[in-house]
A and B are shown apart, each in its own frame.
Chain A
Amino acid sequence: MLPTRAAKQNPETAAFWDGCRNSQLVLPRCDACGELIWYPRRFCPFCASTAVTDVAVSGRGTVYSFTVIRKGVGPYRDAAPYVLAYVELEEGPRIQTNVIGVDPETVHIGQPVHVVFEPVLDPATPDQPPIAAIPRFMPSTEEGSGSR
């Protein structure tokens, strides 16, 4: 598994990270204009509304762009090669993430993917339940993607 850690949370992003812990991808949607907003915030950059509601999205998408990182940095120093990607969610937003569970050399633009939530364990108590989860994406079967 690639390195994981619990994200720093704040009042604007707690709903997103709580969603991840419950295996749901939760994005704010603007109450005024209806747009889904990435990255999560309690403000709509499309219409300047401060009223947003958290909604669960499908977690399905396609690879919009990707790179195979051959030289990892920081906690990923020994993790290369790994894939950093923009996934375009079925609902529209393009989000940065990793594509995992696949040979990096086979990842391609347009590839159908779906979200998985990787658990974050407390290094001090690794036998205890996860303290958080972070979203990454795995390839879906190409055949099944058209009917979804």
Chain B
Amino acid sequence: MSRRGAAFIAGAYEHPRRNIPDRTEAQIHAEVAVGALADAGLAMTDVDAYYCAGDAPGFGPISMAEYLGLKCRTYDSTETGGSSYLVHVGHAAAAIAAGQASVALITLAGAPRNGGTPPGAGAAFGSAPESEFENLWGSSIVAQYALAAQRHMYEFGTTSAQLAEIKVAASIHAQHNPNAMLRDVVSVDDVLASPLVADPLHRLDCCIVTDGGGALVVVSPEVAATLPRQCVKVLGQGEAAKHGNGGRIDLTYTGAVWSGPRAFEEAGVTVADIDYVSIYDSFTITVLITLEDLGFCAKGEGGRFVLDGRLVAPHGGLPFNTDGGGLCNNHPANRGGMTKVIEAVRQLRGEAHPAVQVPDCQIALAHGTGGSLATRMMSSTLILGVTDA
């Protein structure tokens, strides 16, 4: 059963703050929930399905259901790291299509700058069967992307200057976002001059660490038809785990090689139809490999593809992350998937900043990568369209 058109995103809200010492994580969940419902023109009492990831405070979705006062008929706390929220949109669309929900609320919140879970969430993985075969070697979250970057450079001749173009494009967008944590435009030379953290990744190849969060409201077509707000159609979603494969890992690709085709098939569109992309940008290399894997260019061509401002809105060939992305704007709770969907919704509503709004944006793609490139990840691709797409 295709979920194409089975659900619409009626509300989207990004917390405006990036450093929140004066709120609990539950409180931030509540603030973004209220924000997204207000955007949709709905109330908390309308919500009959609730989605959060495994990092929500308490016991799965149950503690937050109690805190928020929810009495839903569907709950889902699927945990796939930063890609969780794209997965949640797809699962919410399936629940709506199956008649199990009509108004689904998805929330993300966290405060890693103020004592929340640190990047990489290492402690959460202590009981994983693989953990002692990785933790003994002094690994870091940056290193688990650097290993993939190094191999990509070896196989395809990708350069640090090419990776830097991705950060430059994000910074050009972020200058227009008053809430962005980093608003200064940077150059390729700035990126290359920033300290190496784990070769070949520099400090400016890495996303930022921010407090905050966001929320989405996904509704049935019947509910969408009653709302005054412009709703965004869910066209397709795919997900795929990619892992070490018994020790035969190949670092040159991600799970996007599987999640992408699943989403495109369900949506009935191709890469040529995509007007705007939100690409998970935990690190610059994440963007480059994902663009290849989704088919925007051939494998190994990513380094050349991102040159000459191709990713820069509004007139580049493939405008990306027009909010400034996780590299410059926001990477709340170390999970970039929520903000990827929110900026895609803004673009399709024509509500991105005028300086970066893609003209006549009809079809957008958002992609999340949870986990890490050099070990295991969950990739999720979500394709959205305007109301009548």
A positions within 8 Å CB-CB of B: 2-5, 7-8, 12-13, 35-41, 44-46, 64-76, 79, 82, 84-86, 92-98, 109, 134, 136
Main secondary structure of the interface of A (DSSP, over half): loop
Residues of A within 8 A of B354 (CB): none
Q: Does B138 contact A (CB under 8 A)?
A: yes
Nearest chain B residue, comparing its CB with the CB of A41:
B129
A71 in complex: contacting residue of B129, B130, B133, B198, CB < 8 Å: B198
Contact with A along B367-378 (1 / 0, CB 8 A): 000000011000
CB contact between A65 and one of B137, B150, B244, B375 (< 8 Å): that residue? B150
With contact pairs A93-B247, A95-B133, A109-B150 given, residues A2 and B138 touching in the complex (Cβ less than 8 Å): yes
Contacts of A84 in B (CB 8 A): 137-139, 143, 147, 198
The reply to whether A69 and B140 form a contact with Cβ atoms under 8 Å apart is yes
B246 close to A37 (CB less than 8 A): yes
Interface residues of B in 180-199 (CB under 8 A from A): 195-199
Q: Shortest beta-carbon distance, B122 to chain A, in Å?
A: 8
In contact, B138 and A72 (Cβ under 8 angstroms) = yes
Q: Which of A46, A70, A95 contacts B197 (CB 8 A)?
A: A70
Cβ–Cβ < 8 Å partners of B134 in chain A: 96
Most chain-A CB neighbours within 10 Å: which of B129, B137, B150, B245?
Answer: B137
Question: Considering the complex, which residues of chain B in the window 125-157 have a beta carbon less than 8 Å from any beta carbon of chain A?
Answer: 129-130, 132-134, 136-140, 142-143, 146-148, 150-151, 154
A65 lies within 8 A of B148 (CB): yes
Q: Contacts A64-B151, A66-B150, A93-B247 hold; do A98 and B196 have CB atoms under 8 A apart?
A: no
Q: How far is the CB of A139 from chain B (nearest CB, A)?
A: 17
Given contacts A38-B246, A38-B247, contact A65 B147 (CB under 8 A): yes
Give the nearest-CB partner of A107 in chain B.
B199
Residues in A with CB closer than 8 Å to B143 are: 67, 69, 84
**Bound CA span A39–B133, Å:** 7
A70, B136: Cβ atoms under 8 Å? Answer: no
A72–B246 Cα distance when bound, in Å, is: 28
28 pairs of residues in contact across A and B, judged by CB atoms under 8 Å: A2-B138, A4-B136, A38-B133, A39-B133, A39-B247, A45-B245, A45-B246, A64-B151, A65-B374, A67-B198, A67-B199, A68-B199, A69-B138, A70-B195, A70-B196, A70-B198, A82-B138, A84-B138, A84-B143, A93-B246, A93-B247, A93-B248, A94-B244, A94-B247, A96-B139, A97-B137, A98-B137, A109-B154
Partner of A70 from the list B132, B148, B199 (CB cut-off 8 Å) is: B199
Residues of A within 8 A of B244 (CB): 38-39, 94
Asked whether B251 lies within 8 Å of A86 as measured between CB atoms, the reply is yes
Kindly provide the distance from the CB of A37 to the nearest chain B CB, expressed in whole angstroms.
Answer: 5
- Distance of A36 Cα from B247 Cα, bound (Å): 8
Task: Decide if B249 is an interface residue (CB 8 Å cutoff).
Answer: yes
What's the Cα separation between A70 and B345 when bound, in Å? 38
Give, as a whole number of angstroms, the nearest-CB distance from A11 to chain B.
Answer: 12
- A61 and B97 CA atoms in complex are apart in Å by 52
Chain B count of residues within 8 A CB distance of the other chain: 34
A147 to B133, CA, bound (A): 30
| A64 surroundings in chain B (CB, below 8 A) | 151, 251
Establish whether residues A69 and B251, one from each chain, have CB atoms under 8 Å apart when the complex forms.
Answer: no
Q: What is the minimal beta-carbon distance from A20 to any residue of chain B, in angstroms?
A: 11
A67 to B201 alpha-carbon distance, docked (Å): 9
Q: How far is the CB of A85 from chain B (nearest CB, A)?
A: 8
Given contacts A35-B246, A39-B130, A45-B245, contact A68 B138 (CB under 8 A): no
Complex CA–CA separation, A134 to B134 (angstroms): 12
- Taking a contact as CB atoms under 8 Å apart, the answer to whether A65 and B251 are in contact is yes
With CB as the reference atom, state the residue of chain B lying closest to A71.
B197
B190 CB → nearest A CB, Å:
18
Flag if B147 contacts A79 (CB, 8 Å). Answer: no
Distance to closest chain A CB from B182 (angstroms): 19
Q: Among the interface residues B147, B154, B244, B246, which one has the most CB atoms of the partner chain A within 10 A?
A: B246
Residues of B within 8 A of A7 (CB): 132, 136
Q: How far is the CA of A74 from the CA of B141 in the complex (A)?
A: 12
Taking CB atoms, residues of chain A closer than 8 Å to B195 are: 70
| A41 CA / B131 CA spacing, docked (Å) | 12
Q: Which residue of A lies closest to B141 (CB)?
A: A73
Q: What are the 3 A-B residue pairs with the smallest beta carbon separation, nearest first?
A: A38-B247, A93-B247, A76-B138
Nearest residue in B to A13 (C-beta to C-beta)? B132
Separation of A64 and B155 alpha carbons in the complex (Å): 11
A79 to B140, CA, bound (A): 13
**Contact in complex: A86, B249 (CB < 8 Å):** yes
Q: Please, which residues of chain A bring their CB within 8 A of the CB of B247?
A: 36-39, 92-95
- A74 to B, closest residue via Cβ: B138
Known: A36-B247, A67-B200. 11 other contacts (CB 8 A): A7-B136, A13-B132, A38-B247, A64-B251, A68-B196, A70-B195, A73-B140, A84-B198, A92-B247, A94-B248, A109-B154
